[in-house]
Structure 1
């Protein structure tokens, strides 16, 4: 089982930047199943960039992967240090269900980066 947080405005598409995302959708997936665990409100505003990024990371702290349209290098580094693997969508029209299906296929024969996540 992997928990993945999608940065999305509508819950259907991956269409939000990590630092500006106001709602994350947390799914738990394995090779056959995908369940939406919860919608995470991440709309609190912070002036300082570091405070904002720490808050966003705290919001997705249950996830092993965070899937976004964009993430800056500083944010990506902070996310990795928190033990979460950041992934970028190919486009803002990438569907959450398509990403889940792709990850489910990968789970059957996981690449090294995914093996590390699965072993946690």
Structure 2
């Protein structure tokens, strides 16, 4: 069974306080931290970024023990579990079962051509945030900002004088 072998989180004093609260976490399946070049189920690592319309900051690398493309789904559990709080995972390939499990976990799987630059894909994602994001991105933004899961949000709106 594939396990997480290492998790490194960058503590960056240049990121403003509260930035992470409004940013989406986006993961990339990568072998070199530069390109999206791995199959989700057997990837060596995830490179995770905090992303807003205007900024993208490297946040974390999660490295996995070696896994074979053998059809076994045991390796998926550790990878999906490592994506808690992640809005999307970009990879070069992902199987149907993994897609279903990722969506169940609230993670949008996105396939891109092998070797796509992470930097370029971050730019495209930010462009989409600015110009009119897809439904899954809007849903992830709501979740990141705590709007979807806050049962008292309507009470707060009413107390502020909001009406239909």
Aligned-CA RMSD value = 1.7
Residue-by-residue CA offset, 1:65-106 (whole Å, 9 max, x unaligned): 0110000000110011011111111x1121000100001011
Distance 1:48 1:98, change over 3 A: closer
- Give the match's secondary structure for 2:50: strand
Contact 1:24-1:40 within 8 A present in 2 as well: yes
Q: Which residue of 1 aligns with 2:31?
A: 9
Say which one has the larger Rg: 2
Which runs of structure 2 are paired with 1:29-40 in the superposition (5 Å)?
29-40=51-62
Contact 2:42-2:66 within 8 A present in 1 as well: no
Q: Does 1:80 align with 2:120?
A: no
* Total equivalences in the alignment: 119
Tell which has more relative contact order, 1 or 2 (C-alpha 8 A, sep 6+).
1
**Unmatched segments (≥5 aa) in structure 1:** none
Contact 1:32-1:104 within 8 A present in 2 as well: yes
Query: Which deviates more, 43-52 or 92-101?
Result: 43-52
Q: Does 1:110 align with 2:120?
A: no
- Give the match's secondary structure for 1:5: strand
Q: Does 1:59 align with 2:114?
A: no
TM-score by structure 1 length? 0.91
